[in-house]
Chain A
Amino acid sequence: MKARSPLLLFVLALLAAAVGAAAALAGHTSHSAKAATPKRGGSITIARIEDSQSFDKTNVFQNESIWPVEQINEPLYTVTSDGRGVKPWLATSYTQSNGGKTYTFKLRPGVKFSNGKTMTSADVKFSIDDARAQLKGWGYLDAAIKNITAPNPSTVVFHLKYQWAPFLADIALFANGIIPNHFAGQTRTAFYKHPIGTGPFMWDKQVVGQSVTFKRNPFYWQKGKPYLDSVTWTFVTDENTRELQLRGGQIQVDEFPPFNSITKLQNTSGVTMSLFPSTRTDYLDMNEKYPPLADVHVRRAISYAIDRKAIVKSVLFGHGTPANSFLPPQVPFYSKSSGGLQFNMAQAKAEMAKSKYPKGFKVSVLVGAGAQVEAAMGQILQNQLKQLGISVTFKQQDTSTEFQNIQKQNYQLGFSYWTMDIADPDELVAFAIDPKGGGAHSFYTDYNNPTVINLSHQAERETNIPKRAKLYTKLQQIAAHDAFLGFLYYSPFRYAYSSKLHGFFVYPLGNYHLEDAWLG
């Protein structure tokens, strides 16, 4: 029988040709140089688990959209690298008058948009007026602003309705980034399809659902920056593929590799694995609509029964810290002495004995389908609460259903997290403890303590920093005593990136200044 030979040869030839052609196409060079001074040129690709949804900074809540858009649109003041304050950016200074109700900003001279036009106070007024008008977006954070005036091209004045302590932090929010007056002559929708800003990068191209690329802004106000020619964000759902792409040099940054691969990546040649301190805090939500969870002793018992160190060790592979407040340490006015309950099974049993449910009860916990971290935490929680007579069952749901059920308070126990958007506790505090003011039923738990709400309102108006710190310390202590949420852990922002990439630094709020990044 001879016929098989040509057929087999054909297949082998096909495979060999493909491999050969591919090898020829896929040029690969190694390098070892580690330059000491920034070099200009080169492009990087950042791979993320989610795709950017929108570039309308005023209405988007997704980090994968916010962090790229911050490379285009910049605010008057920006967050400091420790996440606890703000520093001048497109404005160089400000003065306060009228009992702290008027802020006058001096704009940085020579700042231009990527279309070559000079930024003026008219652009600033238009940008913030547009941002604060967005009802379904971030407008609520600008609620203290009464009106804005632009007396001359380099001065902008904000008149507030009342003294507002978080004002500068709010002004530094990405949603308050500066855009050209009247959307540079475009409609709002058209403008945000390819926005224009003063940032280090400008819009280049987008393949919706796949990637977005920004290129260097030739008019950038920081002379010599950015160093990179362009930055591309891609969407790669599979974490193994992202890691292989990084090792293969196809991408330069792998955003959020899983906790179980951190140690391996730390020991991978050509890869830098960084754990940047973050404002991410994970919580166990306890819905007080479910009667047993309305009992403060039950919530305290559950909080005492959570072995946070065990969770950090087994779920985060040691890459985290047990939480002791609903505020993270990277936020101003976080208090170490907030008295957040820590693992103590004897205390947990004592609290259960004091409750209306000393013999325990049944409770369900919502777990996202495919959410490995939640599933593992659920298992640990189930074992620990069993010792209190609390029988935990799992309700596994896809993420959208899980979100919806938590937001509709159609759950008993659930997991959630928060990352800060401003360098001030006000945003999270209002959301977490003020059922009406925050609009989210106190993190969807129905927690309602008038003393805490009152402290929050006082802190919003208190501009004396030591007095404000005292208010927030007291607030955190009461909230911790009430155990309205189970504070679980603080975890870092995880980035694995090419060792050739320098100057890449992630701030505690999750943003990064890519004008400082360069390829060596």
Chain B
Amino acid sequence: MTLGGYVVRRLLHLVPITLGVTVLVFFLIHLVPGDPAATILGNQATPARVALLHHEWGLDRPIYVQYWKFMGRVVHGNLGDSLFYSVSAGHLVLQRLPVTLWLIGLGALLSVAIAVPLAALAATKRDRLPDHLVRAVPLLGLGFPPFWVGIVLLLVFGLNLGRAFPVGGYGSGFVGHLHSMFLPALTVAFGIAPILIRSLRASLLEVLESDYVTTARSKGLPESRVLVRHALRNAIVSTVSVLGVNIGYLVGGTLVIEQVYALPGIGQLMINSIFQRDFPVVQAVTLVFSIMVVLVYLLSDVVHALLDPRVRFD
């Protein structure tokens, strides 16, 4: 199968997956206790006012009717209006998507930027002090919870050291976004880099002992060329899959980092909407999440196949 055919087939998988997700999320969020009218009205949620809001939102209709209407809107590209903000749920999601994409993208980039040189250092200095340090120190990144790492980074780089970075927020313009997203992305990287380091180090150790590396060395190639051109390219294949899986998890797991850094991302929108029982927004966000996860895994598989010619599209 060609690459194009493979991508099209995988994209077609999106249809049943997203349909399944909408069914699951719609019924789960409607069946759990909690009422958006009670949240919005607060102490003033008299039964009469609650009933008026339920009627206005159509929540007084049978749940299957509500689902049918929801799906009717979805096929026309309309995800409904937020009960809390009275604006389009799709608009809310699209407005926040770039923040989360920045966080995931820059976080992945920094993870790779940290992991690749450190894994190379560890593999080439096997069982020596640099190897031990590289294997031990990054594990702290896994041990410390992201909210704690975030607060520490904000204290160090946001309040001290010349207030180099803003204390939260998304910034404006490309430079502003880069400036604002660096610390959140670094927090993401602290969680992912240790996993990549371990994976890449193990692959590199295996590759560095293979025959073709010995052949390259025997040809008199410089060690740096052997490492970068021959060993790293082959070793990184499995790490791409590891990165893909972690980014997949990250798509739904940016909430804590978004909260600590006051980032108006999709994770924060998701959790607030769940607490408020803002049904249309919860549905819209989960729909987008499911599409993003499928796309990330697809991208990871395609990159894997492009890096490793032995992998076939089928």
Contacts and interface: CB of A to CB of B under 8 A. Distances in A.
Interface of A: 1-4, 6-8, 10-11, 14, 18-19, 21-23, 25-26, 28, 47, 51, 53-54, 61-62, 135-136, 189, 207-210, 234-238, 240-241, 244-245, 247-248, 250, 397-401, 403-405, 407, 416, 418, 431, 438-440
Contacts of A2: 222-224
Interface in B55-111: 56, 84-87, 91-92, 95-96
Contacts of A11: 113-114, 117
Contacts of B264: 207, 209-210, 235
B203 to A, nearest CB: 16
Nearest to A8: B117
Interface residues of B, number: 76
Contact of A1 (B38, B39, B227): B227
B168 A244 contact: yes
B260 interface: yes
Interface of B: 32-36, 38-50, 52-53, 56, 84-87, 91-92, 95-96, 113-114, 116-117, 120-121, 124-125, 147, 151, 154-155, 157-159, 161-169, 175-176, 178-179, 182, 222-228, 259-262, 264, 268-269, 272, 275-277
Contacts of A136: 49, 52-53, 56
25 contacts: A1-B223, A2-B222, A3-B120, A3-B224, A4-B117, A4-B124, A10-B117, A11-B114, A23-B164, A25-B179, A26-B166, A53-B40, A54-B86, A61-B40, A62-B42, A207-B95, A250-B169, A400-B277, A403-B42, A404-B34, A407-B38, A407-B50, A431-B44, A438-B46, A439-B48
Contact of A61 (B41, B56, B259, B277): B41
A404 to B, nearest CB: 4
Contacts of A23: 162-164
Contact of A439 (B46, B164, B272): B46
Contact of B43 (A14, A53, A245, A418): A418
A238 B168 CA distance: 10
Contact of B275 (A47, A61, A400, A431): A400
B47 A439 contact: yes
Given A240-B260, A400-B39, A404-B35, 20 more contacts: A3-B225, A8-B117, A10-B117, A11-B113, A18-B178, A19-B161, A21-B175, A21-B178, A21-B179, A61-B44, A234-B262, A236-B168, A238-B259, A238-B262, A241-B167, A244-B168, A245-B262, A248-B166, A439-B46, A440-B45
Contacts of A14: 113
B8 to A, nearest CB: 35
Contacts of A10: 113, 117
Contact of A431 (B43, B92, B166, B169): B43
Contacts of B182: 18, 22
Contacts of A51: 272
Contacts, number: 187
Contacts of B116: 7
Contacts of A62: 40, 42
Contacts of A4: 117, 120-121, 124, 227
Contacts of A61: 40-44
Given A7-B117, A53-B84, A209-B269, A244 B179 contact: no
Given A4-B121, A21-B179, A440-B46, A241 B33 contact: no
A248 B158 contact: yes
Nearest to B225: A3
A238 B154 CA distance: 13
Contacts of A8: 117, 121
Q: What are the 5 closest A-B residue pairs judged by CB atoms, nearest first? A: A3-B224, A400-B34, A439-B46, A7-B117, A3-B227
Nearest to B85: A208
Contacts of B35: 400, 403-404, 407
A438 B43 CA distance: 11
A51 B40 CA distance: 12
Contacts of A418: 43
A237 B259 contact: yes
A14 B182 CA distance: 11
A32 B49 CA distance: 52
B124 A1 contact: yes
Nearest to A236: B262
Contacts of A1: 124-125, 223-224, 227
Contacts of B226: 3
B243 to A, nearest CB: 17
A209 B121 contact: no
A53 B116 CA distance: 46
Contacts of A439: 46-49
B168 A401 contact: no
